[in-house]
Every structure is written in C-alpha cells, then in structure tokens.
Amino acid sequence: MNKENRFQIENLGDPQHKSPLQLSTVRGDKIFNFVNDADRLVFDLSIDNYKHCLNSGEEPLCLDKAGPRQEIFFDPKQTTAAIVTCGGLCPGINNVIRGVVMALHYFYGIKRIIGVPYGYEGLNPEVGHDFVELTPEKVKDIHQFGGTFLGSSRGGQDVSTMVDTLEQNKVDMLFAIGGDGTLKGVNAIGEEIQSRNAMISVVGIPKTIDNDIDLIDESFGFETAFDVASPIIRDAHNEATGAYNGISIVKLMGRDSGFIAASAALAMPVVNFVLIPEMEFALEGENGFLGALKKRLDRKKHAVIVVAEGAGQHLFDKKSEVKDASGNIKHSDIGLFLKQKITERFTETPVTIKYIDPSYIVRSAPANSIDSVYCSRLAYHAVHGAMAGKTKFVACKVNNKFVYVPISEVTKKRKKIDLEGEFWFSVLQSTGQPFFLG
C-alpha cells in the first residue's frame, strides 16, 4: 500500500444530509451520476510510475475527483456562504463569483450569500468595509465585465480577527478566489478554524494571470491574458516593420514565470525574441542577446521582443528590495532597461524603438469564451466540494480532469516553464531565437 497520503482532503465530519440535486447512481440511465469519494484519479500517468506500482504492489498516488456528492455535510436551509477576492486583477473573477452564487442558490437552495469587499480587508471590522448581499439578480450580468465586482486588496489581515468575523456572521463556508498568497491565507484561516473546532469549510479557487500555481493544469484568466495580448503584439510588429531597423519591445506580466509571454508569442508568431524569468540571458558576449539582435536587424531590418516583467532581474546592478503589500519583490522595469541598453549599443546603426506595456489592460479584460466556460465549471466544483464538508482544498484541473487538491500542496512552490520541455522548444521554433542567449 502507498503510505504517502499527501493529496488527502480534510473533511469537517460525516455528511448528514441528502443532496437536493436530483442526480443518479445508476450507469446507463443518461442522468449524471453523483461522485463517490472512492472515485479517485491517478496523479502520475507516466509509464514509469505504472511499472513501479505494478512491480512494488504500491497503490498509485491519487486525487479526489471533483463533483456533487449524494450525501452532504451542510443543511442548505441553515447555511451561509461568503465569497472573497484577493490580489491583482485577472480575467474571469466575476465569472467565478457569478458561478458560485448561482450554484449555491439554484443547485442547493442557499439563500444567504455574503460578498466580502476588498479582499481580506473585508474580514477585518476595523477597516470598515460593509458586506455585500449577493443574489442571482445582483450578479447575473457581472461576467460581461473585467475586474472584480467585490473589489480586491493585497496583504493579509490578522487570522484570528478574520475567523472571529466569520463566526460572528455565522458563515459556514468561505470561497477565496486568489493566487498563491490568497491560498496560503485561506489555508491559515482553515487552520485557525480547526483549532477552534469550528464547522466552517474554506475553499480556494486558484487565480493567477501568470499561470504559476503548481500542480494544476492551468489557472483561469490565463488564456484570456495571452488572447488579449496577441493583437497588441501584432500591432507592435506593424510598428517595427514600419521603420528601418524598427524594434518593438512588449512587456507582459509574469513575475516568476513566463507563461503569458511564451504563449502570446506562439499565438501571434511574429515575435523574434521571448525573454522570461526562467532563463538567465546575457546582454553582451558572442552569444549574448544584443549580438543576436544585431544579427536579426542585419537580416530583416526589424525585430519584435516580448519580455516577461520578471525577466532579466539579474542584469540590474542593484536588485530591488521594495515589496508590495503581498510581500512580493517589486521588480525593476526590464522593458525600459532593454530599451536603454539597445539604444546605447546601436549608436552607429540608428534604430527606432517602441516600448509597449499593456499589462493593466490585459489583466482587466473580461474573460473570453474558453475562460468563461472554465470559470463556471471551477465554481460549480468548488461549491459541490464545500457542500460535502470538504475543507482547505482547491478546485482545479489536473491531467485534464476536475479534482480537489489540498491547498498546502499547490502552494509549496511556483510552477515554471521547463526550458528542456516541448513547450519552450515550440517557442524557440516559432521565434527562431538561439537556444542560448549567453
């Protein structure tokens, strides 16, 4: 037997109520079946893991399948839910809020749903933000807009104070929509709830435009991000080709991971260089970036450079020590830095440089159709898990299946682009840039 149990989801207790969902338990009757806790999915699908389990007799590491349970923990008539959104903006937040409200109200008949304003600040009474009552009527159209209907903020609040607020308002389940910091925060809230023996479920719905949450296939809003960035890159290409030795530099979001920059370059294949945080490129030298750029200009007389915001931080003489409210280092502007260095290098060969930073436009856009579908399904699965009494988990996709994963597992490290992987190789094939820049 497999002794490792790292993906075990915690439960508040045994379910005591029948689900109001009119679903089936019989295969073949053309009605969706309730999901059983025994319906688990293998995490590592590799042939090596299969052979190891076959030879050793160990059970493979498995994940809880997401979906509605026949027996639920909470009595819908007596249940209060709360929703909070934290961190930076991201396409699809309003879709998730809407999906959670609609699922709670129409699937389970829960009438009291609280919106927590401005992130975790809203759970601190001293800040003075009033709760928002959420109903289907209030949220029915919010998916058409970017941003967050509830408002957001960065930074944590006192965990004990936040749990006090939840208990005083008789909240039974808290849905936290946010990235790494938000998920760590809601997990800490769950730990405090557990220490008080309180019966409150806490659920994370992973949100990061950078797509850097570990283990999961993809975070919502990411596809919209590079979808919105693609026409901007197209226009940057038009600017570059419109001048002799024209250069366009487009800076996209990506603090620690370059998924948006890389994906946008693949989606709009007019990019010649993609620079991401995962690579330590050099400016000078035989194989340096500036040398490769000169060769490009000599051949084609224009170049398009897409750079992630966290790329090239090793090139600055003095590393930034300034942190935002979430504790993240505020990176120096690599886009302006590259513009300056290119200008200094090409004094004998005149160049025309356009620097474009559309980051806040990209993150504030409404979700596209693919993300809209994804957000709704994530919301539904989060609600089903909470109603079953599961806690301290995220609803997400792994191996293209909707599953529940402990928050503690997805926050251990950031997901990054594998420079030896096929995805990055595709980017290099698309751009034609050298495998190594320095």
Binding site per annotation, positions for ATP: 88, 154-155, 179-182
305 vs 356: CA distance, rounded Å = 10
Binding site for substrate: which residues? 208-210, 253-255, 309, 360-363
Beta bridge partners of residue 323, listed in sequence order = 329
Of the residues 64, 210, 212, 371, only one is catalytic, namely: 210
113 vs 376: CA distance, rounded Å = 17
Tell me what percent of the chain is helix, strand and coil, each rounded to the nearest 5.
Answer: 35, 20, 45
The Cα angle at residue 163 between residues 114 and 5, in degrees rounded to 5: 100
Residue 210 among the catalytic residues:
yes
Query: Which pair of structure tokens corresponds to residue 428?
Result: 């290099």
Three state DSSP letters for 161-172: HHHHHHHHCCCC
Query: Which pair of structure tokens corresponds to residue 119?
Result: 């992130």
Binding site for Mg(2+): which residues? 180
The residue whose two tokens read 């007799």 is: 57
**SS3 for 251?**
strand
428 vs 434: CA distance, rounded Å = 7
Amino acid at 349: T
Angle between helices 222-241 and 369-387 (to 10 degrees): 160
Q: Which residues are marked as active site? A: 210
